[in-house]
Amino acid sequence: MVRLARLLLISGTVVVVAGLGRFHAVRHGYDLTGSARFTWSLAYGILLLVSAYAVGLPDLPRTLRAALGTAGVATLSAALGISMVQLVTGDELLPRFVVFGTVVLLVPVYTVTALLAARGRSRAEDRDRVLLVSAPSSVEAGLLQAELERDTEKPALLVGTLLVDEAIPTAGKPTPLMDRVRALDASVLVLDRVAGADEEVVAQAAYLHEEGRRVRTLSLFYEEWLGKLPLGELERSSLFFDIGGLQRERYARGKRVVDVVLAFLGVLVLLVLIPVVALGDLLANRGPLFYAQPRVGQAGTIFSILKFRTMRPHEGASVDRWTSEDDPRVTSFGRLLRRSHLDELPQVVNILLGHISVVGPRPEQPQYVDELAARLPFYQLRHLVRPGLTGWAQVKYGYAGSESDALQKLQYEFYYLRHQALWLDLRIIGRTLRIVLHGVGR
């Protein structure tokens, strides 16, 4: 039901914006697809989707009143945003009929998506009861309980664990795994790599599957319930081909269009804010306004990432590996920029230049990439795709202040690499905007 709501949100936006644009074009006798009007309509559609995800559609509202209010805020925010741009450019390329007609038509559509998602959540509020079968040496198995207490994609409760040897039939216990699952009333059976390779364990799991219980490998469970990939369960060749197969030309083109549209809007905001930030920098930072730093991009290429400077001059070159949220090198005005995330805004230039995308793994400095690649398995594979201004790891895990945090974020990044899609990109952008508006996360 939640997936249906997300599909309706995207398809409804496309149909309404395209339909109103087409209606206006036919009525006034111009070619919508062969002019800059199409680009503006596309930009408005993307802005509507970003605004919808930013205010929590379709996931957050739980009542009709909340759904109506959130739908109104999403559509009006996008309409007001595009109207502010039109104060400079005029409304010839995107008629007001399309802008405000969209608001009228999309409020009920967005309301329905929120109610559909709420209905789907109400069915899933009872947590899945999970039984894990694993080898004694399974690292992820030991961490699973803590993982389920984090920001999960589906609610679940670990009701029991079983070693592989305990799940193998004996003369006195011909079906130990089936007996344990039924005794605990487990709805989900999870097998790690060792358990999944044992024929007798798998045979019992097959019977449980026939009973209607869900059976998952540990890797698939991490993906579906936790939104990440456990590194201990990965094969290098499998991960490589899963990522490579996702670089579809249609998706790449669509993602680039989203990048350019959002970066163009970001440049307009940047031009407005530069004088304000420059004044604050003059009064409090007393140094260069911008700060460029080398980062590792797709395929290991090096580029310079652009930011508003937040540290005292020459402090950015410190050899410290991990910065902290209360880093003493950050100036008072720089702390304000970081808290509001405005220090990242100049990176819209990097997006336009093709160095980064809006969504992707965050790029790191070359010396840190070498250090992490030597210690973390598969780390270099994150460079198979273009890095991003924000990413799945940022919205799911947040600030990384240690090597163990970097390992956690890497697992979320690999989930994104395997599941890349425009709907996931829009979801990440929306969650990022919610984090920015609440002043938390990094």
Q: Is position 46 within any domain?
A: yes
Mean pLDDT of 160-167: 94
Regarding whether 116 and 8 lie in a shared domain, the answer is yes
Q: Note whether 274 and 411 are same-domain residues.
A: yes
Same domain, 27 and 10: yes
Rounded to the nearest 10°, the torsion over CA 61, 9, 254, 244 is 70
What is the greatest pairwise CA distance in the chain? 83
Rounded CA-CA distance 86/224 in Å is 43
Q: Are residues 106 and 153 in the same domain?
A: no
Q: Are 87 and 95 in contact (CB under 8 A)?
A: no
Q: Is residue 258 domain-shared with residue 398, that is, in the same domain?
A: yes
Is the pLDDT confidence value at 151 over 90? Answer: no
Q: The domain spanning residue 168 has which CATH number?
A: 3.40.50.10700
Q: What is the mean pLDDT of the chain?
A: 86
Predicted pLDDT of residue 376: 87
* 3-class SS letters over 388-438: EEECHHHHHCCCCCCHHHHHHHHHHHHHHHHCCCHHHHHHHHHHHHHHHHH
Residues 136 and 113 grouped into a single domain:
no
pLDDT at 433: 81
pLDDT grade, residue 45 (50/70/90)?
Answer: very high
CB 296 within 8 A of CB 363: yes
pLDDT beyond 90 at 57? no
Q: What percent of the chain lies above the pLDDT cut of 70?
A: 89
- 158 beta partners: 130
Examine residue 243 and state whether it is found in any structural domain, yes or no: no
pLDDT confidence band for 438 (50 / 70 / 90): low
Domain boundaries, position 159: 128-227
Both 6 and 151 in one domain: the answer is: no
Are 394 and 273 part of one and the same domain? Answer: yes
Domain boundary among the residues 227, 262, 278 is at 227
Amino acid 164: pLDDT = 95
Query: Which among 88, 95, 93, 86 is positioned nearest to 37, based on CA atoms?
Result: 93
Q: What is the pTM of this model?
A: 0.77
What the block records as the tokens of 208 is 């449980």
At 439, the amino acid letter reads G
Kindly indicate the confidence band of residue 323, based on its pLDDT and cuts at 50, 70 and 90. low
**CA–CA separation, 293 and 303 (whole Å):** 8
Task: Give the total number of structural domains in the chain.
Answer: 3
> What single letter denotes the amino acid at residue 316?
G
Q: 321: which residues sit within 8 A by CB, 6+ positions away?
A: 368, 371
Whether 15 maps to a domain, the answer reads yes
Q: What does the pLDDT read at residue 272?
A: 87
| 202 Cβ neighbours under 8 A, 6+ residues apart | 191, 196
Alpha-carbon distance of 149 to 322, in angstroms, equals: 26
**Torsion (CA) 52, 387, 394, 364 in degrees, nearest 10:** -150
Predicted confidence (pLDDT) per residue in 267-284, tens digit: 988 998 999 999 998 888
**Stretch 335-361: mean pLDDT:** 94
**Among candidate residues 194, 227, 260, the one where a domain is terminated:** 227
Q: Is residue 152 part of a domain?
A: yes
Here the contacts of 164-168 (C-beta below 8 Å, separation 24 or greater) are 164/133, 164/134, 164/135, 164/194, 164/195, 164/198, 164/201, 167/133, 167/195, 167/198, 167/200, 167/201, 167/204, 168/198, 168/200, 168/201
Assess if residue 102 is contained within a domain: yes
Same domain, 105 and 137: no
- 58 preceded by cis ω (within 30°)? yes
For residue 318, the model assigns a pLDDT of 52
Query: Do 65 and 207 belong to one domain?
Result: no
Strands (DSSP E) contained in 220-345 are 290-296, 302-308
Neighbours of 299 (CB within 10 A): 9
Q: Are 47 and 75 in contact (CB under 8 A)?
A: no
Judge whether 239 lies within some domain: no
In a domain, 235, yes or no: no
Same domain, 276 and 405: yes
3-state secondary structure 28-90: HCCCCCCCHHHHHHHHHHHHHHHHHHHCCCCCCCCCHHHHHHHHHHHHHHHHHHHHHHHHHHC
In a domain, 26, yes or no: yes
Residue 245 has pLDDT above 60, yes or no: no
Q: Are residues 266 and 319 in the same domain?
A: yes
pLDDT per position as a tens digit, 341-353: 899 999 999 999 9
Q: Among the three residues 86, 104, 124, which one is the final residue of a domain in this structure?
A: 124
- 267 vs 85, 259, 274, 308, 351, CA distance in Å? 12, 12, 10, 14, 10
